[in-house]
Every structure is written in C-alpha cells, then in structure tokens.
Structure 1
C-alpha cells in the first residue's frame, strides 16, 4: 500500500500536470483564435518549461553518523529491498550527494574529483562541464551492480598534509593527529545520481549532505543549495540530543533559511528498553523532544523521534507493527501534508496567477468584440426598406469613432515609446555588466587582503551597492506605472476600456535573498575559528560562492523586472489592437450594407455567424479560467 508520502508526491505531480494542461489549453486557444504575439508565445513556453523542470528538493543535513543516508533509504527506497545509499558503520556518504531523475539521460552516477577544489570553479559551473566528472552507468534491474557502484560515495584516500591544506581540507587538529604527514580526505567532492525511481520521476529531488567539515569547506551548499531546498530535515541522535557540532551546523547552515525545518531525533530504538514500560519509554522520548525544541528554538511539533533503521527493516520485511513503532509515519505525514502542499501553492502563485491574468485579458477582449457585434446587429435590425440615411449616419459615426480612436492610439504610441525607453533603462540598471563592474572593483580591494574582516567589509560594500540599485529600479518602475495609469484612464474615459491598475514592481524577493547572504557573511566574519586561524583559502572560497549567489540573485531581479514590464504593457497593447480590429470590421460591415442595401440580410447573417464564433471563444476561455480558479482553490485548501 502506498505511504502517505507516496500519495502526497503523486498528488503534487497530478496537480502540476493540471497546471500544465491549463497552460496548454490557453496556448491552443490563442493559436486558434488570435494572432498570438511572439513575446506572449515565448512566455507561455517558458512557464511550461519551468513547470516541467520543477523539482521538490528535500535536503538532509546533519553531522556524521546521524543516519541521514539510512533515513533516505527508509523514506524513498525501501521498495528496492536493500540500501540504495551506503549507510553501514564506517561506510557512509563522504560527499554531498544529489538524487533526481532526468528523463533525457540513462541512469548514472557522476562523481566530481576532490581535486577540483584547487580551482575557483563552483559546483554549479562544474555541473555543466561533463568532462570533469567520472561517470558510472547504473542498471536499476541489477541490485548488485547498483550497490557496488554507489559504494563509491564512501571512498576516502590518504594524501600529504600540504596537498590537503591546498584544497582547504586540513585544519590544525588533523595535523596534530597525523604521525606520518598524511591525512584522510574524501575522494569525491560531489555526486549526482540519476535514478528512475517513481518518486524521483514525480519531481522529488534529494540532497544528502555530509557533516560539519564538508558543509564548512563547501560554502556553496550553505549559501545556495540548502537555502533553496523546500524542506530541510536536520538529523540528531536521540541518545546525545543536540551536541556542540550539531548546534554549529544548525546555526550556520539551517536555522535562518526561509524554508521548512524539521528536527529529527534518529535512532530512537536505542531507548527501547525492555526493562521499562511503554509509558516510561514514551516519557523519555517526549522529554528529549521538548529539550531539543528549546535548544533549536522550534515548535515542538517540528521535532520528531524515529528509527530510520527499524523503519527500513520493517518496510523490507512488510512488518507493519515495526514500521508503526519506528515513528517514520509522522515524518511521512508531515512531508505530505505540509511541505509538499506549500510547494504547490508556490507553483500556483508563480504560474497560475500569470496565466489567469493573460487569459482574463483575452476574455475581456472577446467580450468587447462580442458587445460590438451585438450593437451592430441591433442597428442593422432597425433598418427598414432602403433607408440609406440611417446606414450613412451609422457609417459616418463609426468612421468618426475610429478617427478619434486612431488619435488616442497615436498618442499612446508616444507613451509606449517612452515606457519602452524607461523599461530599457530599468533593465540596463540590472544588466550583468553593471554587477561585473561592482565585482571587479570589490575584488581589486580584496586581492591583497584575503582576510575575514576584509571579506566582510568588501561584501557589505557590494550589498549596499546592490540595494541602492534596487531602489533606483523601483523608482523608475513607479514612473512607468504613472505613465500606464494615465494611458489606462484615457482609454477608459474615451473608449470604454476596463479601468485597469498596472501591478507595482517590488524587489522584496531579491532583498530577502540578499538579507540571507548578509547574515551568512556576518556569521562567517564572527566565527572565532575564522578570526583566530589563517583562513585565506576558505575566505576566497566563501567569497567566490557569495559572488555566484549575488550574480544569480541579480539575474533573478532582471528576470522579474522583465516579466513585470510585459505584464504591465501587454494587456493594454492587446486591447488596443483588438479594439482597432473590431472597429475596422464594423466599418467594413456597414460599408458593404451602405453600398448595397439589398445585402442587408447577408450581412446580418454574417454578423450572427461572427457572434456565434465569439460566443464559442468566450465559452472556451471561460472554461480555462474556471479550471485555473478551481485548481487555485484546491491547492490553497490543502494548506
């Protein structure tokens, strides 16, 4: 029987498919009934692709030997009847490991050599360079081959202290412990597993992170990967509770990020004392959960106690009593009932709202055309005999109306040109070259001073410049909105257009991401270890990761600003175009009647046919909008 988690992810996939279907229905409607503009078509394509590529990322974070890999095996891969990830004593994953499904590639394990740390390349960049990775083909039908291949994740090797120091993988404690000038380091820096598991096919992605040393030596994980996860599962040992190293990981890598946090007291079976009653055992577990919640400053329902090993064993054996006692059901329910639905709401807000805005504008355009046709039919039905004067007056009235409309649109062309120029300047303010200039200047100041204080000062200066740039962009956007407000009002007053209110552009989303980066810089700068020890290598690595994050955030700001410009300008441009087309059709209809009053009946039939076509368009776009609204309500009700 499917678990609650299986059901939740299946629902996530189903509703994502429904959003895609709505998107496709609207795109098909546009192609059938309109001359869809290339920009609008491209935007719909981008929205669909973003949905198809969307992943629900769960990050498993903990110190070594807390049972992360075993919990991943129990949650997602028990149906394989064996451990997918190595989790034996002394044989656990030694590098960050990402599990996902890519339909465009055969199953594989890709391993990034640890030596790539000698370069300035980020993991994100190296993911695009397949030549840098060692690749092993995986055969899902051969459990032995899979198991042998994935044991590579636990590989370590001994290298000279100097070599480890050059890669930033050796501290004073390691040197003291080394009796032969050699230290042990991981063989691999990062691993990617493309595996056709049903849950991964449904859009789930998993990140298994090693302990404190690996998180500290790869700032990209703390600055990018973990903050972008939709849920973070922080594992602790039930018998020890929150240790000093656990708390350091929690404070530096987890706590301050704006996503779901779940603390998991693993290995709860260590408290299953046969000399104690079930009530006494439960009381011990409850006290440990309360204490953990206080230490981590979490609500008590965000702390769970379970046994990953017993859960995996119970699922492999089909032992429902052991599965229930393991406590894994509470975690599965939390993931299915909270984290996954929250991600669905984010999907709706990012895609459905935009589709509804565009489809709503299309429906209003159809409604306006339909109202014009109905008015023409009413006027034609009032004609009697060969009353040429009535037809002539109507024709002249429409021609005059079109002349006035042309004057208004000519005036709007000037406004549109001004808006486009302002929009170009707005986007130029967020161009990559602008950030590059800031970074070049900042790096020049740091080049001879790769110290913690130097990093903090340099990054604070950069962040201040970026924030100032955001203020300038928002000010320019406000001026654009004022121009659009005036244009909307004129078309409303003179031609009966619906009175629209253009959306405001805000950089708050990017400011929040920047605030997280600033917090990370502050934590790094006040870490006593970084202040006391020479950390030139780590300072530089941290700087490069910060720069990569700042660049991504800057590009996000530009993407959001570009999308805002289209959302603001496209509706009025579309209405102007459609209204002009409608007037031209009406004038042509009246002209034909005027030239041949005997053709009155034929023109009336033609208008009725046009009315039927528009009513069909109206009905279809109504169904699309209703479906989108229903999907919105369904997703929102799950929170």
Structure 2
C-alpha cells in the first residue's frame, strides 16, 4: 500500500470540504429563486456554512513526562522547518496544556500564556479564552529563529512557590509524594496554566489544531482537558516509551483520561510506542530486533485493550532527523510514515463523516425535501397537462362535472387546513411542556442547593454524596425530556401523514429534534463526574478547590447541555412544520389555478391550447430545476477526501424530461 504523507491527505480533505461549501452556497440562492426559502431556512444554511468554514481537525497528544511527545509533534508537523520548532530537548518538557493552531481572525503569530494563578478563579478555560487581559502575550517573529525559540521556551517554564501556595492551587499533596519523609518548604510548579500558539504553518492554516498535554498531574487537576478537549479531538495519540513499556502512571492516564472519556472508542484512538531506536542494536540480527518490537507492540495492545494495528512502534527522533536530512531509508525505518498514513486514512475519514453528518442532519435533509417537493410539483403539472389534453374532444357537461368535483375537493382541502391550524396550537402546547422541564431556573436552584451543601459539608463523604445527588437529578430530568420529546415527534409525524395520505402530498422529512446526543453527552459527563468524585487527587485537594473545580468544569457543562437542548427545541418547533406549510400553500394555489383553467376552458375552447403550451413549458423548467438539485446532492455525497491522484469526480446527471 502506498504511504501517503499526512499533509497530502489533509490538503485533499480541505479541497473536498471547499467543494461542499461551494455547493451549499449554490443551494441558498436556488431556494430563493424557486420561492422555497424562509428566514429560518436561510439561518440554518448560514449556520451550517459557518460551522464548515470554522471546522477544525483536532489531534491531541497525551503522555506522561519524557515519552518524546513534543518531539513526535515536531517530526509529524514541523520537520519542514529544518529544526525543532517546539522545545523537546532532553530534560525539557511541556509543563502546561498547549494548543497549536493558526489564528485566522487576527492573522498573527504569537504565544499566549495563562498564568497558573487563574486556577483560583471560578472561570473555566473556555471563559478565560475570551478574556485577553488575563493572558500574557508574546508576538512571534517568524524570521527570527532566536526570538521564536525564546518565546516558545516559555511553555516549559516553572516557578518555585511555598508549600501553602502549591496546596492552595491544588498542585501539591503529600500522598502524591510518598518518598518524602517531610513536606518540603517550597514546591516547583508550572508557571503557566495553558498556552496558545498561533503559527502560520500550511496545515494549521487549513484548520488543523494540535493539543499537546503534559503528564498525569495536569490531566488530573484540569478536568476541563478531559471533559471538553480530549472528547472533542478527532484523534488522540497516546504516547508510550519503548524503553519503559506501560508504566503504572501510563496506565492511570489511559484508564482515567484517555479511554475512560469515551467507552468503546476505537477509531481515532492511537497508541504510539516511541523510542524504538533504543532497541536497535548492531550486534543483534535484524529479525531479532523486528520480533522484539512486534512482541512489544502485541503486549501493549493487549494491556490497553486496543487492536494491534492501532499501536505504532516508531522513533520520533530518527523520523525528524530523516526528514530534515532527507534520508528516505531512515525515515522508513523510523516507522513515522506508517503512523502518518494511518492518521490520514482513519482520522480524516472520521472527520469527513462528522462533516457529512452535519450536512445530512440539516442542509442534506432540506435538499431531499426540496427534491421531493419539486417532484410533487412535476407530477401535479404532468397530471394537469394530461387532464387538459384529454379535454380536447370532451363536451361541456364533462368539463362542468370536472369543475364540480374540483370545487368539492377544494372545500374538503380548506377544512383540513383549518384542522391543521388547530394542530399547530397543540404543538405549541407540547413545546411549552418541554421548555418547562428544561427550565434553567429550576436547574439553577438545584445547583445552588448542592453548592451550599458541599461548602458546608464537614466530610469528604458528604461532599461526594452531594455531587452524586446533583447528577442523579439531572439524569432524571433528561429522562422526562426523552418521554415528552417523543410525544411531540409523534404529533408532528401524524400531522404530515394526514396530508400525505389524504391529499397526495410528496413525502418530506420534517426537521426532527433528537435528545439522544444530549442524553449521551450527559451520560459521558456523569461518568467523568464519577471519576472526579472518586479520584485520589480529588480526595487530596482542599475542600474549597474541589468545590470550585466541580462547579466550573462539570456542573457548568451540565447546565450548558440543558441550555443547548432548550435552544434547539425552540428552533425545532419553529421550523418543524415549515415544509408542510409550503406544500399547503403550493397545493392551494395549484387547486385554484386548476379550477380557473376549467372555468376559462368552459367559456372558450381557444384557451385550452394556450394552457397546454404553458404547462409544457412549466414542466420542462421544473425538470431542469430537479436535475440541478440532484447534481447538488451528488456533489455533496459522492466526493471523497482521498489523496489527489485518487480523487473521484461526482457523477452528475443530465436533464431528462421524457
């Protein structure tokens, strides 16, 4: 199998995404021209486009200290610069979580650092991200190697504080240092809590974000990393040392902070067995070395419970050296290209599927509905055309009977439209019940009560009970939402079915609200709350710090889930019946036009041929528009983000009006 550099695959993926964006941009004006647009539809299309344009591919690197993680980032992404861009020399290690990306709003290169003291605040990392006054900002001078290296070296800086300060910041506990007979007077801690590096690298400009995390300490004391950032990453690379194997601290990171956040996840989860060059030995046979590496690969996969093919024995240092010195043989021996190829195949396929799901659930469904409605108009036009052609040699009595029948159908249709208005009122009541269950005021009361109980608790056990009770209450509320939303979905389906069955409306799929994603998100959050609640690190923290961490990282996230669910429900109710409202309006106009045609033909047979020609032109135009829509659908669904030499063109259809 040809090994394709990750950069090439990312470039092809970005081209595919650009094609998708261009097609959706074409769809908006099409809806406007064909009278199928509305304020809600325009908003939904714009939201999808905003999501796609701001789409990021996030790859997280997780490891205990001294596993060569930063060297691996340099080797995969920054070898083209001919040097180590990020500090990864022996004995120097990333001390704070670091995001590497390109700021496409400011278009600046910089290092932005958040002081460690912000841990004492209630604000989350997400909130602090927008508070630029709290960050220390260093511009990066791209043309100056010395200035860039000095600025980037800040991410590895530490500071010495008193023991009390370290405890207050939640960065020291006697139990984590069992080898110490007595607590020290001072403690070395990271200088920074979080770092953001904006750099104008080609791949970063294409939407790649790299998350570099330090060891167990940071993951244990910054729950937001585990809760928000790692689950949001499309790929997590867990780096081990071939010279150390899977240590106890490696296993704890894996169980609690990597595998634990998404039970059963396999895709996008990779294990890197770094530093295999320590096993290279000129005095050993090549086959023996190969067998030893394969054995360690299999043992590592078995210990971590992943497939052997997701464990990559590599040498990041030799891979970086090979790229810089352009030594293909050493690069192949380093194993780096195997990892890059897998990243491109596995991770970009996941990312593409996420994009397709985003489109499919909204714009894709709208495209399908537009095609259904247009097909319905095409069939109705064909029916009218055939009806008029048959009237050419019919008597006035036949035309009058047909007029009476059409009036009767019209009267029944108008009565059903009145019933529809009653159904809309019923739907509004259902929406009110859902909003009442999801009331943030009620949730805030529960949260305030829990915080007071935790603050006043005299025991760790009491605090843990309060944490558990709060999340049990949110889960019960979510179950109520599940029941009520299903009743609302049934009502909407029944309203649509009535017009489809009784008036032959084209089958369209109304936008449906799914509580599943919010329920899953809450369940994952509940799992993380349990890990936090039972973690030894939590038990060792000061009570005040535990309360702050629990509410800023966990409870705030639960509240956010309910807020987003409530917002989506309100949008759903507004837009759920919109396709049917359009069909009702179109059908009413068609019935009126049909009746008008019959009346005019009854008065003068000269009108008949003119109306037949008019309908033929209308039919041809509708068929052309339907072809245009089909091609839009094919351009979205058929393109694949393969590497350039393999890219397939979508199959476009030609107009057929036979």
Report which stretch shifted further, 549-558 or 67-76: 549-558
Q: Give the direction of change, closer, same or farther, for the CA distance of 1:435–1:198 in structure 2 (3 Å limit).
A: farther
Aligned 1:586-597 pairs, distance under 5 A: 586-594=594-602, 597=605
Residues 330, 456 of structure 1: alpha-carbon distance in 2 compared, 3 angstrom cutoff: farther
2:654 equivalent in structure 1:
none
Q: Is the contact between residue 163 and residue 184 of structure 2 (CA under 8 Å) also seen in structure 1?
A: no
- 1:570-594 deviations in Å (ceiling 9; x for gaps): 3323322222232233344445545
- 1:104 alignment counterpart: 105
Q: Map Cα deviations across residues 615-636 of structure 1 (whole Å, 9 max, x no partner).
A: 222221222233334248999x
Where does 1:325-344 land on structure 2 (aligned, <5 Å)? 325-344=333-352
100, 113, 120: which one aligns with 2:122: 120
In 2: Cα distance, 1:632 partner to 1:409 partner: 44
Q: Which residue, out of 346, 367, 372, partners 2:354? A: 346
CA distance 1:306–1:633, change in 2 (3 Å): closer
* Partner residue in 1 for 2:429: 421
Aligned residue in 1 for 2:652: none
The 8 Å contact of residues 74 and 308 in structure 1, kept in 2 or not, is answered as: yes
Count of aligned positions: 637
Give distance in 2, aligned partners of 1:360 and 1:139: 50
Equivalent residues in 2 for 1:206-605 (5 A)? 206-258=210-262, 259=265, 260-384=268-392, 391-449=399-457, 452-498=460-506, 506-528=514-536, 530-531=538-539, 536-559=544-567, 561-562=569-570, 565=573, 568-594=576-602, 597-605=605-613
- Residues 210-260 of structure 1: CA distance to partner in whole angstroms, max 9, x if unpaired? 111111221111222112211111111111111121112112111123343
Please state whether the residue corresponding to 2:146 is helix, strand or coil.
helix
Distance 1:576 1:134, change over 3 A: same
Deviates more, 1:388-397 or 1:274-283: 388-397
Q: What is the SS of the residue equivalent to 1:447?
A: helix
Do the aligned residues in 2 keep the contact of 1:169 with 1:217 (CA within 8 Å)?
yes
Tell me if structure 2 keeps the 8 A contact 1:219–1:541: yes
SS in 2 for 1:91: coil
Determine whether 1:6 maps to 2:7: yes
Q: Secondary structure at the match of 1:240?
A: coil
Is the 1:238–1:268 Cα contact (8 Å) retained in structure 2? yes
Partner SS, residue 576 of structure 1: helix
| Helix, strand or coil at the partner of 1:262 | strand
Deviation at 1:368, TM superposition (A): 2.1
> Does the 8 Å contact 2:438/2:562 carry over to 1?
yes
**CA deviation map 1:484-511 (0-9, x unaligned):** 3432332133211245676875433233
- Hey, what's the Cα distance between the residues in 2 that align with 1:3 and 1:257? 31
CA distance in 1, matches of 2:641, 2:327: 38
Q: Equivalents in 1 of 2:220, 2:415: separation in Å?
A: 65
Q: Where does residue 54 of structure 1 map in the other structure?
A: 55
Name 1:148's counterpart in structure 2: 150
**Is the counterpart of residue 200 in structure 1 residue 181 in structure 2?**
no
Question: In 2, are the aligned partners of 1:453 and 1:525 still within 8 Å (CA)?
Answer: no
Q: Contact 1:386–1:597 (CA<8 Å) still a contact in 2? A: no
The answer for the alignment partner of 2:653 in structure 1 is: none
Report the CA distance between 1:68 and its aligned residue.
Answer: 1.2
Structure 1's unaligned 5+ residue stretches are none
- Displacement of 1:62 in angstroms is 0.8
Shift of residue 566 of structure 1? 6.0
Q: How far does residue 431 in structure 1 lie from its aligned partner after superposition?
A: 4.2
Which moved further from structure 2: 410-419 or 355-364?
355-364
| Structure 1 stretch displaced more, 350-359 or 240-249 | 350-359
* Alpha-carbon distance in structure 2 between the residues aligned to 1:456 and 1:314: 52
> Do the aligned residues in 1 keep the contact of 2:221 with 2:537 (CA within 8 Å)?
no
Deviation, structure 1 residue 388: 5.4
Does 42-51 or 482-491 show the bigger shift?
482-491
Check 1:238–1:161 CA distance in 2 against 1; reply closer, same or farther (3 A cut).
Answer: same
Q: CA deviation at 1:14?
A: 2.3
Return closer, same or farther for 1:617/1:475 CA change in 2, 3 Å cut-off. Answer: same
Q: Equivalent of 1:185, from 185, 189, 201?
A: 189
Aligned to 2:615: 607
CA distance in 1, matches of 2:379, 2:59: 52
- Whether the 8 Å contact between 1:348 and 1:632 is mirrored in structure 2 is no
Question: How far off is 1:335 after superposition?
Answer: 0.8
SS in 2 for 1:157: strand
Unaligned segments of structure 2, at least 5 residues? 648-658
| Partner Cα distance (1:632, 1:71) in 2 | 28
The separation in 2 between residues aligned to 1:621 and 1:563, in whole angstroms, is 26
- Structure 1 residue 353: deviation in Å? 4.2
Query: Residues 189 and 446 (structure 1 numbering): CA distance in 2 closer, same or farther, change over 3 Å?
Result: same
Distance, in Å, in 1 between the alignment partners of 2:514 and 2:242 is 45
Corresponding residue SS for 1:131: helix
For 2:518 and 2:463, locate their aligned partners in 1 and report how far apart those are by CA, in whole Å. 21
Distance 1:487 1:528 in 2: 54
- Cα separation, 1, equivalents of 2:458 and 2:375: 64
Rounded to whole Å, the distance in 2 between the matches of 1:3 and 1:141 is 30
- Given that residues 119 and 169 in structure 2 are in contact (C-alpha distance below 8 angstroms), is that contact kept between their aligned partners in structure 1? yes
Residues 559 and 278 of structure 1, relative CA distance in 2, 3 Å threshold: farther
Q: Deviation at 1:39?
A: 0.8
Question: What is the Cα deviation at residue 130 of structure 1?
Answer: 1.4
CA contact (8 A) 1:81 1:316 kept: yes
Q: Distance in 2 between matches of 1:33 and 1:504?
A: 24
Measure the CA separation in 1 of the matches of 2:403 and 2:202: 65
| Matched position secondary structure for 2:232 | coil
Larger CA deviation: 467-476 vs 376-385: 376-385
CA, structure 1 residues 400+265, in 2 after alignment: closer, same or farther (shift >3 Å)? same
Q: Is the 8 A contact 2:20 2:635 kept in 1?
A: no
| Contact 2:63/2:239 (<8 A) preserved | yes
More deviation, 506-515/527-536: 527-536
1-structure distance, mates of 2:563, 2:76: 36
Note the alpha carbon deviations across 1:436-495, whole angstroms, 9 max, x for none.
232122212212128643343223222222222222222222222332343233213321
Identify the range of structure 1 (339-348 vs 141-150) with the bigger mean alpha-carbon deviation.
141-150
